[in-house]
Chain A
Amino acid sequence: AQSVTQLDSQVPVFEEAPVELRCNYSSSVSVYLFWYVQYPNQGLQLLLKYLSGSTLVESINGFEAEFNKSQTSFHLRKPSVHISDTAEYFCAVTKVNAGNMLTFGGGTRLMVKP
Chain B
Amino acid sequence: NAGVTQTPKFRILKIGQSMTLQCAQDMNHNYMYWYRQDPGMGLKLIYYSVGAGITDKGEVPNGYNVSRSTTEDFPLRLELAAPSQTSVYFCASRPGGRRIGNTDTQYFGPGTRLTVL
| Chain A interfacial positions (CB closer than 8 Å to B) | 4, 6, 9, 32, 36, 41-46, 49, 51, 90, 94-102, 104-107
B43 at the interface (CB under 8 A from A): yes
Chain A to chain B contacts (Cβ below 8 Å), 12 pairs: A6-B42, A9-B40, A44-B43, A44-B108, A45-B108, A51-B103, A90-B42, A90-B43, A99-B102, A100-B102, A101-B48, A106-B42
| In the complex, residue of chain B having the shortest beta-carbon distance to the beta carbon of A104 | B42
| Chain B interfacial positions (CB closer than 8 Å to A) | 4, 31, 33, 40-45, 48, 50, 58-59, 90, 92, 101-103, 105-106, 108-111
B residues near A41, Cβ cutoff 8 Å: 110
Q: Give the distance in Å from the alpha carbon of A70 to the alpha carbon of B43 in the complex.
A: 26
| In the complex, residue of chain A having the shortest beta-carbon distance to the beta carbon of B3 | A43
A residues near B58, Cβ cutoff 8 Å: 101
| In the complex, residue of chain B having the shortest beta-carbon distance to the beta carbon of A9 | B40
B residues near A90, Cβ cutoff 8 Å: 42-43
Q: Give the distance in Å from the alpha carbon of A9 to the alpha carbon of B42 in the complex.
A: 11
Q: Give the distance in Å from the alpha carbon of A103 to the alpha carbon of B8 in the complex.
A: 26
Contact A97 B40 (CB under 8 A): no
Smallest CB separation, B53 vs chain A (Å): 16
Q: A32-B102, A41-B110, A43-B4 are in contact. Are A4 and B42 (CB under 8 A)?
A: yes
A residues near B33, Cβ cutoff 8 Å: 100
A residues near B59, Cβ cutoff 8 Å: 101
In-complex Cβ contact of B90 among A43, A98, A100 (8 A)? A43
In-complex Cβ contact of B43 among A96, A97, A98, A104 (8 A)? A104
Contact A43 B109 (CB under 8 A): yes
Q: Give the distance in Å from the alpha carbon of A106 to the alpha carbon of B31 in the complex.
A: 24
Smallest CB separation, A25 vs chain B (Å): 12
